[in-house]
Structure 1
Amino acid sequence: MAELVASNLSVAAGGRTILAEASVTLRQGELVALLGPNGAGKTTLARAMLGVETQTGSSRLDGMAITSLSPIDRARMIAYLPQIRPLAWPATVRDVVALGRYAHGAAIGRLTGRDAEAVDGALSACDLQPLANRSTDTLSGGELARVHLARAFAAGTPLMIADEPVAALDPRHQFQTMSLLRRYVDDGSGALVILHDIALAARFADRLVWMKDGRILADGPVSETLTEARLEEVYGIHARIIESADGPAIIVRSPVAQDRP
């Protein structure tokens, strides 16, 4: 069973600590939501876990230091969906999704067998079949976000880290995306997802990891870590949590008053 274990990761830049002694585990069979305000260090933590951010501490994939693995070996084990997803040149939707098979040796434009099945399945899952032959430079931001998600699914990896995968999506596709990630995990994979929608995270995730000022403040099940006191501590808001059969709703009442000098 694939497992990514980050221990005491710290990252500094410009003389400032932006991640401090963060420890978190991602394993197959779990959907983990990483929560926190802007600037909390969430993206830095994700990149440090993947070994693409200079850091102290350790990140180990199945017991091996992740930096000791080749980029191809890492890509076969962990799909990464970054927050910023530039494309070097316009390509068809199908060809961009097919990039997810690159680590498996697939030849883009000449997919066969398992590679073709993986790409077709990802296109279908992300509701992209009608757009498969469209150029990516003709898509909306939300459509392009789904293309990149499909590319991550096409990789067929046991683990995935996705940085704000629902940020540019309308409510329907936000729900669809989280449902797809939930199915990906239920089918035996593991996902760490950075989110800003707390209610969406609480509905779909098995664990919530809460960050502020570069530190992890809490890591545990929704029932134990989602509290009104936690929302005040992490986000500086007075909020009410309303439980329902469809999951918790977060009602923000006001920001916490700041002390004035």
Structure 2
Amino acid sequence: MPHLIAAFSTDLDAVRTTTLENDYIVSNFISQEFQEFDRMGWSNKWFDYRHMTLLQATHRYMEVYGDIYRRIYAREFDRERAEHIKPLNFELILAALRPEGQAEAKKVTKAKKQLVGCWRGRQIADMLGCPYDVYIDLAFTYRMRRWKQNTMPQPFHLYHEYDVEKIAERWEELQASKLYRAEHAAYMVQNYQNLPQQNDYHEWLFKQAKLRSNPAEWIATFIDENALPVEKVQTRTDIPEWEMIERYLQ
């Protein structure tokens, strides 16, 4: 089954792997169970990843994993060495899994293990609606508390059920103390096309406003920053509430 990309694209998009390569990897190395999990989780995933192919999103996850890995390695083991460590190499993983690269069985096995480990971690982050940096940082934090080995946790260590429960709880707490915003230009009101992911983002902003002590002020801020359409806000608020929002807009 083709893995569709949302119908928007901007200069903020990362360099894309082709949809053909995405489908090749999914069809040959990702189980049917995991494929179904991706279909279920698309509407939950963090907004900046909804325009990506599954493979591209996994690439982003790997990049973030590498950044956080180096930071924790520097803190726990060796600061100088940490600067030169690259725990995952996306291009080498793809090269080993392409048809012309499958001559060496050991490399294929290693590449598949790394890919699937990151794929599964990325899926869990998507299902939680969590930005990858938040998810991976929390996953490392909770895993390291029980970590007794002399090496760093690998991608397949970062989605233990116990840790995921803790991550989900902490993610909900973080939303009340920090405002998480999408960066993709498709979520600016001037690019609004009534797409599902855009409407989902508006619901996210309404929710974030309600988590704070003065929702009207936050709604006004979102309008002023071109994140929420005025018309949608007006249809969602009664007259007294809208008048309060208007005062903040002046």
Asked if Structure 1 and Structure 2 have the same fold, meaning a TM-score greater than 0.5 normalized by the shorter chain, the answer is no
Higher relative contact order (CA 8 A, sep 6+): 1
Decide which structure has the larger Cα Rg and report it.
2
Higher strand proportion (structure 1 or 2): 1
Instruction: Give the TM-score, by structure 2 length.
Output: 0.26
Instruction: Give the TM-score, by structure 1 length.
Output: 0.25
Higher helix proportion (structure 1 or 2): 2
